[in-house]
């Protein structure tokens, strides 16, 4: 296998930059820099020199001996002064060394997967951890990266393998007197796994929202103060505000961290009938996005009724309360004075925190679909168990199919088509 290298820290000027080298020639590369007798897991301060003996930098050198390293191979990490000129010189020197090449995107992590240092779900967890922007995203990604999904899959596999073994035992001893009916025990094992799988499938939908962010659509009539409220929540002029009705023509998105939860606010076109073709398109787009959003905030003028079907947890608030003295007991908000905004944020945080409590260890749509496939096979198997017309060999095959679906979660089988897509999201040095 080639020895690869890359900048493992962010490009540009920094206090410290890290260059990572992995593969069978990693130690040789270090020696070519003038680093002698690297000691595993000991930090050494050394002067790096190029092939002509010119000093490149004074660096902290770390050696991780394979297989006890991130990739499972010999790994050298050079902690350099974060000068773009130094980084360029070091990478150029590495590129001139025989047998070394620049790493591809995600190649270090892919080698960790291929060398058994991580399973596929952990790779996805690492990608999510790198991309996490909020505390909820960090916690969720950390659980997957720590291998929690793999641990649960092993429990499911253990129970299903046990169930299949019981069934296959009756096949092996079909000509002998087997005194115990294994079907009740098999049915109980399958029931327990089904319950756990269903919980994970439900939680995976919520986890996907935590990964990508909850969407909140601000809707209402033209000039209801939607854009003003969006700007107040965002803390900047994200949307154009005007007294002219119909200013907002397209959906404006603002992503924010709402008390540790990722939330995307959507400012939509005012709901009304209009002869303006462009505005009409904007209204329809706004309705479509509002329908798909996780929650809607309807800003209501006095005497008005909502013109959009509202759902559980949706909020109906009196708009522009800074202009009114009598609110008639209706909760109101103002994007000008900030009146009611704290209460609004509290409500949003409460709703999304409650939903996030359902988060499962499975966090991606791929995970959910694999779990649903496995559930389908288990449902078939349990139905067959109750019907004596089906033999144990047929039922056991359904269980093997269920196990294969679960194996795809952690990359034991059938994952080659996924790898390119997954690793494409990684940076070069990871």
The predicted-structure confidence for 272-308, as pLDDT tens digits, reads as follows 777 777 777 878 888 888 888 899 999 887 777 787 8
User: How much is the average pLDDT of 105-131?
Assistant: 89
The pLDDT assigned to 244 comes to 46
Which pair of tokens denotes residue 290? 């509002």
Find out whether 289 and 268 touch, Cβ atoms under 8 Å: yes
Residue 211 has pLDDT above 60, yes or no: yes
Question: Going from the N-terminus, what domains does the chain have, and what CATH number goes with each?
Answer: 3-115 (3.30.1360.120), 135-209+362-425 (1.20.120.430), 214-356 (3.40.50.300)
Radius of gyration from C-alpha coordinates of the chain? 29
The pLDDT assigned to 414 comes to 45
Residue 133 has pLDDT above 90, yes or no: no
Residues 77-97 pLDDT 10s: 999 999 999 999 999 999 999
> What's the CA gap between 354 and 386, in Å, rounded?
39
Report angle CA 343, 347, 353 to the nearest 5 degrees.
Answer: 140
Lowest pLDDT segment from 26-30, 181-185, 309-313, 359-363: 359-363
Residue 178 has pLDDT above 80, yes or no: no
Highest mean pLDDT among 87-91, 157-161, 164-168, 342-346: 87-91
Residue 115 CB coordination number (10 Å): 16
> What's the CA gap between 361 and 147, in Å, rounded?
9
User: How much is the average pLDDT of 329-341?
Assistant: 79
190 CB-side CA count, 13 A:
31
Residue set of the binding site for (6S)-5-formyl-5,6,7,8-tetrahydrofolate: 20, 77, 117, 430
Residue 195 CB coordination number (10 Å): 10
Residue set of the binding site for Mg(2+): 227, 248
Beta strands in 191-339 (DSSP E): 214-220, 252-258, 261-267, 295-300, 315-318
| Backbone torsions φ then ψ of 203, nearest 5 degrees | -65, -25
Find out whether 355 and 206 touch, Cβ atoms under 8 Å: yes
> What's the CA gap between 187 and 215, in Å, rounded?
41
The pLDDT assigned to 306 comes to 81
Rounded to two decimals, the pTM is 0.69
**219 CB burial (10 A radius; 0-12, 13-18, 19+):** buried
The pLDDT assigned to 415 comes to 45
Residue recorded with tokens 């897509």: 421
User: How much is the average pLDDT of 310-335?
Assistant: 78
Residue 422 CB coordination number (10 Å): 20
The pLDDT assigned to 100 comes to 94
Residue set of the binding site: 20, 77, 117, 223-228, 242-248, 267-270, 430
The pLDDT assigned to 208 comes to 80
Residue set of the binding site for GTP: 223-228, 242-248, 267-270
């Amino acid at each position: 296998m080639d020895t690869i290298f890359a900048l493992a820290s962010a490009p540009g000027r920094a206090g410290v930059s890290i260059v990572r080298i992995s593969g069978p020639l990693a130690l040789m590369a270090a020696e070519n820099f003038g680093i002698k007798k690297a000691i595993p897991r000991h930090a050494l301060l050394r002067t790096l020199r190029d092939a002509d003996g010119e000093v490149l930098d004074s660096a902290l050198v770390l050696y991780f001996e394979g297989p006890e390293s991130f990739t499972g191979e010999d790994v050298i990490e050079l902690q350099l002064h974060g000068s773009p000129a130094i980084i360029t010189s070091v990478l150029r020197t590495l590129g001139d060394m025989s047998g070394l090449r620049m790493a591809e995107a995600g190649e270090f992590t892919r080698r960790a997967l291929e060398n058994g240092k991580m399973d596929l779900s952990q790779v996805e967890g690492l990608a999510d951890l790198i991309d996490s922007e909020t505390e909820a995203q960090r916690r969720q990604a950390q659980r997957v990266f720590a291998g929690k999904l793999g641990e649960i899959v092993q429990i499911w596999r253990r129970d299903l393998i046990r169930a299949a073994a019981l069934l296959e035992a009756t096949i092996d001893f079909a000509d002998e007197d087997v005194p115990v009916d294994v079907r009740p025990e098999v049915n109980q094992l399958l029931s327990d796994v089904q319950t756990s799988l269903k919980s994970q499938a439900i939680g995976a939908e919520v986890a996907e929202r935590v990964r990508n962010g909850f969407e909140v659509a601000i809707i209402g009539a033209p000039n209801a103060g939607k854009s003003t409220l969006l700007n107040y929540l965002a803390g900047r002029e994200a949307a154009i505000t005007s007294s002219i009705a119909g200013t907002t023509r397209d959906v404006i998105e603002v992503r924010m961290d709402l008390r540790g939860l990722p939330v995307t606010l959507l400012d939509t076109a005012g709901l009304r009938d209009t002869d303006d073709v462009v505005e009409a398109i904007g209204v329809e787009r706004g309705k479509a996005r509002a329908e798909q959003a996780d929650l809607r905030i309807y800003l209501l003028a006095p005497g008005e009724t909502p013109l959009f079907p509202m759902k559980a947890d949706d909020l109906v608030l009196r708009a522009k309360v800074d202009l009114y003295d009598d609110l008639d007991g209706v909760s109101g908000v103002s994007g000008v004075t900030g009146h009611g905004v704290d209460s609004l944020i509290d409500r949003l945080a409460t709703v999304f925190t409650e939903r996030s409590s359902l988060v499962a260890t499975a966090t991606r749509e791929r995970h959910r679909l694999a779990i649903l496939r496995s559930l389908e096979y288990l449902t078939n198997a349990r139905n067959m168990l109750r019907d004596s017309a089906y033999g144990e060999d047929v039922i056991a095959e359904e269980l093997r199919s269920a196990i294969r679906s679960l194996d795809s979660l952690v990359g034991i089988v059938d994952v080659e088509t996924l790898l390119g897509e997954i690793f494409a999201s990684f940076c070069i040095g990871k």
